[in-house]
A and B are shown apart, each in its own frame.
Chain A
Amino acid sequence: MGETVAGIVANPASGRDIRRLVAQASVFPTAEKANMVQRLLAAFAVTGLDRALVSTDLGGISATVRQALGRGGTWPAVGFCEDDPLTGTAADTTNAVRRMVEAGAGVIVVLGGDGTARVAAAACEDVPILALSTGTNNAFPQKREATVAGLAAGLIATGQIDPDLVTHRVSVLEVVTKARREIALVDVCVSLSKHIGARALWDPTSLTELYCTFAEPDGIGLSSVPGQLCPSPRSSPDGVALQLGPAGETPYVVHAPIAPGLVRPVGVRAWGVLRPGVRVELAAAGGVIALDGERELELKTGESAFVELKPDGPWCVDVRAAMAEAARKGLLRAETELGKERRR
């Protein structure tokens, strides 16, 4: 095996959208994102990783990591993705992930919310991603200690753990319009509102359709609606599809935690199973399509759009499985002379 590389993409914009204003969503501070990057790097070093490639940003995360580099500490060689000009948009995440794929990263750790993971997933090809939650909704990324995640990622990237044993492929929802092709990791929702506006989706009254890759009863975000109505586990190849309407006019109402601090009645007209490979036309003409809780696509009047559940989404690291594998193989332990002596 040649040089071993892992990537870290940290989204400076995650965790600070309008839901902090309309609800009491937490602010995920830049300083803590920078700390998480440093904890990942410290764990990488223990696994013997040669090089870490870190995204750059205008939000102060990479600047803080750069400053910390000068203070010593045991890290692998650290490089920054500096070849693409920063745009302050999701394109920065896409560009960084592509560079990491090109550089031969064995794992890419993604710090962000559902939106960030979605953008990274669209660009990571077959490189496994490990999404850590630093966003608002977080139906997809895990809330995990970065140090442990860094050990798991480092052990995979250095080839000490076989990725086939500890990663799994998730389904995605693919949305196709005349001009764009996008994916969602958790949900696709159609809104009657005309403009993307402040992006985050927080007002359920304008929603008409919802599609989810999975629906867990303890979920947060829009997938919590089917989560309470027609749960569908992450392990299932099927997803769910719902017709929504104003809470007063529908046969069902779910009191759903659609965002931190916001439990709203969501009216449901009907629901059903969404099978993989079935293309569904969205009745979205002139409205807005939200992906993983963020309004993303504005449709022109009369423009059509389709959604399809696809089984070939990104490979995702199962941190628990990876650490269990590390324990089984004894990768993070060693027997000392004293131990050998005792055994004799």
Chain B
Amino acid sequence: MARTISYREAITEALAQELARDESVIVMGGDDAWGGVLGVTKGLVPRFPGRVLDTPISESAVVGAAIGAATRGQRPVAELVFIDSMGACFDQIFNQAAKFRYMFGGNARTPVVIRTMYGAGLRAAAQHSQCLYPIFTHIPGLKVVVPSNPYEAKGLLIQSIRDDDPVIFCEHKALYDTRGEVPEDSYTIPFGEANIVRDGGDVTIVAIGRMVAVAGEAAKELATSGIEAEIIDPRTTSPLDAETILDSVGHTGRLVVVDEASPRCNLATDISALVAKEAFAALRAPIEMVAPPHTPVPFSDALEDLYLPDAQKVLNAAKAVVEYQR
């Protein structure tokens, strides 16, 4: 039965249900003993003794340990609070987890999930606001999940834990308190299957993570001017559901990609390149990309608001492609 819970509660519920279902699941993260920095593991320690582990702030050791344990029959979920601190353990992710299966000739399974928080909007400034999922998307061997709401978060996290490959699970910090309908029962959402959040025939808007909601606001506004936008949430950036995107552009002929990540080599450029190459004939207008400027995330609320993609920017982009005249 579905009820309304928060994005944070949906994640906690996914962890709890998987811990209860599968003994090999273990959870580790900073301050997990009292619920974790994000409050996501609250209440799990007494329910699952010895399986929710508090860690020192040691990104390499903790992520490395999660990876090592994954090769020996565990399904570890490591929490690395800020995606910005991933630099401290890139080696373990890029050179160890991501490479094992290929480098060892297919003789490896590394079912590890690294949960991490990304995104701007909370005035957390340059070192705590980045959207680094494109970096992980770039690496063969990793899967990257970017859930856009509570329902997606629960189903995708359960899928991540059951998945046999290393998964980077990216949670947007501004979404934790957003609420939505989530079934109580356990369920999974498969990777590489985009969600068509809204149907429309005039323009395709592909949006990532929190940008799905921003695109939704823009679409409502567009509808008042008679423009029906089709919104696609890829859910996972690796694997990427190219087919759904291409199909949509096939019938709309127009594409706007909304990505909160820095504009060079982000998901917007990646998806734009894909569409330009595979669906060029269908395009009736140049592709628009809505992304922040090529700067670090600023601190001041005045600057951060200017920095972030918002509904107005998406609206403008959508109108530009719809109104485009050769």
Contact between chain A and chain B defined by CB under 8 Å? no
Contacts from B to A (Cβ < 8 Å): none
Which A residues are within 8 Å of any B CB, using their own CB? none
